[in-house]
Amino acid sequence: MMQKLTSLTSDLKLSNGVTIPGLGYGTYQTPPEDAYRAVTDALAVGYRHIDTAALYGNESGVGQAVKDSGLKREEVFITSKLWNTERGYDKTMAAFEKTLAELGTDYLDLYLIHWPANEKQFGQEAAALNLDTWRAFEDLYKAGKIKAIGVSNFMPNHLEALLAQAEIKPMVNQIEVHPGWPQTEAIRYCQRNDILVEAWAPLGEAAALSNPVLAKIAAKYDHTPAQVCLRWEIQQGILPLPKSVHRERMAENTKLFDFELTEDEMDIIGALRNLGGNARCQIR
């Protein structure tokens, strides 16, 4: 059954039983010097799930903000990601230790393969390389160093190859989802396979927010286009990861639980195209 978030503090359950706060806070393009302040604000606003990555160069600011927040480590769900240059078993193991050191923690809640090795770059070797990386993820998971493991930007073809060989199934796939880029097939595939979908760029990197259809629906509920985007994702059982460095926007992006889009509105938003977002997730 599709899980749906009912409040900022309610959790979703992953296939291994681990709970995950159903709204996350994104940190892509938050420079290292701003990450500490931004994550401190996000935790004060009420977020309990922070999404970072080795690529973002801000893991140490994120980790320090969590430490100084007064919250216990287990009260904050931290995700990081393995960057593309570190694929393969041994390099993954080393990159994971570096991520832990940067964050100043001894475990991760969720670790993701940031992008799949794909056939365009790696030819017939792509699937084997993804599997080799995944073996390291499985071993780190079995050693108790990560509570849940997953992937990012994997399309159904990448997942199919991984699932055929994996001992432990990925619990999460983080992909680009927003009005204008609905990723219907990838979402359906993941939900059928009990893989939770997280939405990156859930606001279409702000490009979706000036769309008149979204503006009209937002006005009807006395909410904002950003809140309508996030609500549209939550109502599909997707976990959005909005990013803002502005505290008032961080707060705005959490006020999602006092209105419900109709099925017609869900379809109208789902059929929007070309909102000027990135749609970068097109590798095959």
Ligand X SMILES: NC(=O)c1ccc[n+]([C@@H]2O[C@H](COP(=O)([O-])OP(=O)(O)OC[C@H]3O[C@@H](n4cnc5c(N)ncnc54)[C@H](OP(=O)(O)O)[C@@H]3O)[C@@H](O)[C@H]2O)c1
Reduced to 3 states (helix: H, G, I; strand: E, B; else coil), residue 199 is: strand
78 binds ligand X per the rule CB under 6 A: no
- Choices 65-73, 133-141, 184-192, 203-211; region in contact with ligand X by CB under 6 A: 203-211
- Choices 11-19, 60-68, 99-107, 202-210; region in contact with ligand X by CB under 6 A: 202-210
**209 neighbors 228 (Cβ within 8 angstroms):** no
Among 130, 152, 211, 235, binds ligand X (CB under 6 A): 152
> In this complex, which beta carbon is closest to ligand X, that of residue 120 or of residue 142?
120
279 binds ligand X per the rule CB under 6 A: no
Among 87, 252, 254, 256, binds ligand X (CB under 6 A): 252
Q: What is the DSSP string of 93-120?
A: HHHHHHHHHHHT-S-EEEEEESS---HH
118 binds ligand X per the rule CB under 6 A: no
Instruction: Give the separation between CA 114 and CA 23, rounded to whole angstroms.
Output: 19
User: 9-48 as b/e, with b when 16 or more CB fall inside 10 Å?
Assistant: eebbebbeebebbbbbbbbeebeeeebbebbbbbbebebb
Instruction: Give the separation between CA 174 and CA 176, rounded to whole angstroms.
Output: 7
Among 39, 66, 190, 209, binds ligand X (CB under 6 A): 209
> In this complex, which beta carbon is closest to ligand X, that of residue 70 or of residue 277?
277
Handedness of CA 17, 51, 207, 211 (dihedral sign): positive
Candidate list 25, 47, 56, 189, residue with the active-site label? 56
E-strand spans in the chain? Answer: 11-13, 19-21, 25-26, 49-51, 77-82, 108-113, 146-152, 172-176, 196-200, 239-240
Please, what is the minimum distance in Å from the beta carbon of residue 40 to ligand X?
A: 15
> In this complex, which beta carbon is closest to ligand X, that of residue 124 or of residue 279?
279
206 binds ligand X per the rule CB under 6 A: yes
80 binds ligand X per the rule CB under 6 A: no
Instruction: Give the separation between CA 21 and CA 220, rounded to whole angstroms.
Output: 28
> In this complex, which beta carbon is closest to ligand X, that of residue 51 or of residue 102?
51
Please give the structure tokens belonging to residue 143.
Answer: 């050693």
Q: Which of 201, 200, 246 is nearest to 38 (CA)?
A: 246
> In this complex, which beta carbon is closest to ligand X, that of residue 135 or of residue 249?
249
Whether 223 has a binding-site annotation, put simply, is: no
Among 3, 4, 18, 28, binds ligand X (CB under 6 A): 28
85 binds ligand X per the rule CB under 6 A: no
Please give the structure tokens belonging to residue 205.
Answer: 């990197």
200 binds ligand X per the rule CB under 6 A: yes
Q: Which residues have C-beta within 8 Å of that of residue 253, sequence separation ≥ 6?
A: 23, 226, 227, 230, 242, 244
242 binds ligand X per the rule CB under 6 A: yes
State yes or no: is 56 an active-site residue.
yes
Q: Which residues in this chain contact ligand X in the complex, by CB under 6 A?
A: 26-28, 51, 114, 152-153, 174, 200-206, 209, 226, 241-246, 249, 252-253
Q: Which residues are catalytic?
A: 56
